[in-house]
Amino acid sequence: AKQSGRNRVRTYEAGMDSESAQRLILDRDLRAALTTGELLVHYQPVVEAVSGQPQGFEALVRWAHPQQGLVSPGKFIPVAEDTGLIVPIGTWVLGEACRQAAAWQGRGQALTMSVNVSARQFEQPDFVAIVRDALAESGLDPRLLILELTERVVLRNPEAAAVLLHDLRALGIRIALDDFGTGYSSLGLLKTLPIDVLKIDRSFVQGDSAEVMVGAIVSLAHAFGLKVIAEGVETSEQLAMVQALHCDGVQGYLFARPAPAHELMPVRPGWPVS
């Protein structure tokens, strides 16, 4: 009994060691990646549902790991959120995305740029100043910038969030509520929060009761004067459905996967319809 007890403790400690060690390694490598240029931003087009014309892009971070290749944000964003490294990463992505959008704006293609914001970033006391600086340094028209926040982030402190969102919008930018419906949605949020866009999570677009869910969300959003973007549109059937249900914008592999900036622009005539 004594022996097995000791083993149990050992196994437990060994398990903890390897998990925390892995996180330490990831954190160390990610910190380095930020300074060595291993982080990249890919852009996924958002198109107008009816015309199929591009209306903008969503910036999505990637890690070009020297050994592991392109690492998806699902693998490292959660760790970066825990360690706080998401703050400098997020600031870098914001700056990069604004510079890219400003470059496209300079070529006469005024397309929106959506940037994801995590809870840690949003809760930085100087977050509004960070956004203001990114706009000033890039010269991007604030009307082209959209910050995407999830309900989860906003619900941590709805009153504080409302104040902050007002300050952000006073910069001239817009706010999107991301992954709508996947968290503990509160319909009250839509009434009280200063937001402009609802993004419908792909689990609803691709799910069993897609028509009912998407239809309900669109009616709700439009009743509050919000634009709706359907995510994860992969098939022409899904596109037909979200068009019929009056979604304003569409994003998904049917049109384009996230890609480096140079592969996406300049937009060809008629792109991406064909």
Residues sharing a CB contact under 8 Å with residue 132, sequence separation 6 or more, in sequence order: 171
b/e sequence 30-43, b meaning 16+ C-beta within 10 Å? beebbeeebbbbbb
> Which tokens sit at 15?
């398990």
Residues 160-219 that bind ligand C2E (CB under 6 A): 178-179, 202
Q: Rule CB under 6 A: say whether 91 interacts with ligand C2E.
A: no
Nearest-approach distance from CB 13 to Ca ion, in angstroms: 35
Kindly indicate which of the ranges 31-39, 183-191, 219-227, 228-236 contains the residues binding ligand C2E, using the contact rule CB under 6 A.
228-236
> Which tokens sit at 12?
């437990």
CA dist., res. 21 & res. 25, Å (int): 6
List the single partner that 12 binds among ligand C2E, Ca ion, none, CB under 5 to 8 Å by kind: none
Quote the longest CA-to-CA distance of the chain: 75
- Nearer of residues 105 and 118 to ligand C2E, judged by Cβ: 118
Q: Judged by CB under 5 A, which of 57, 179, 214, 242 binds Ca ion?
A: 179
- Nearer of residues 29 and 116 to Ca ion, judged by Cβ: 116
Kindly indicate which of the ranges 27-35, 115-123, 244-252, 263-271 contains the residues binding Ca ion, using the contact rule CB under 5 A.
115-123
List the single partner that 71 binds among Ca ion, ligand C2E, none, CB under 5 to 8 Å by kind: none
Q: Judged by CB under 5 A, which of 94, 178, 232, 265 binds Ca ion?
A: 178
Q: Rule CB under 5 A: say whether 116 interacts with Ca ion.
A: yes
In angstroms and rounded to an integer, the radius of gyration of the C-alpha atoms of the chain is 21
The DSSP element (H or E) to which 157 belongs, if any, is none
Q: Judged by CB under 6 A, which of 38, 141, 167, 234 binds ligand C2E?
A: 234
Q: Which residues pair with 150 in a beta bridge?
A: 178
Q: How many other C-beta atoms are found inside a 10 Å radius of the C-beta of residue 81?
A: 17
- Nearer of residues 74 and 270 to ligand C2E, judged by Cβ: 74
CA dist., res. 162 & res. 6, Å (int): 52
Q: Rule CB under 6 A: say whether 241 interacts with ligand C2E.
A: no
- Kindly determine how many residues on this chain lie close enough to bind ligand C2E according to the rule CB under 6 A: 23
Bridging pattern class, strands 227-230 and 249-250: parallel
Residues sharing a CB contact under 8 Å with residue 148, sequence separation 6 or more, in sequence order: 58, 114, 115, 116, 117, 176, 177, 178, 199
Interface residue list for ligand C2E (CB under 6 A): 44, 60-61, 72-74, 77, 86, 90, 93, 116, 118, 178-179, 202, 231-234, 251-253, 258
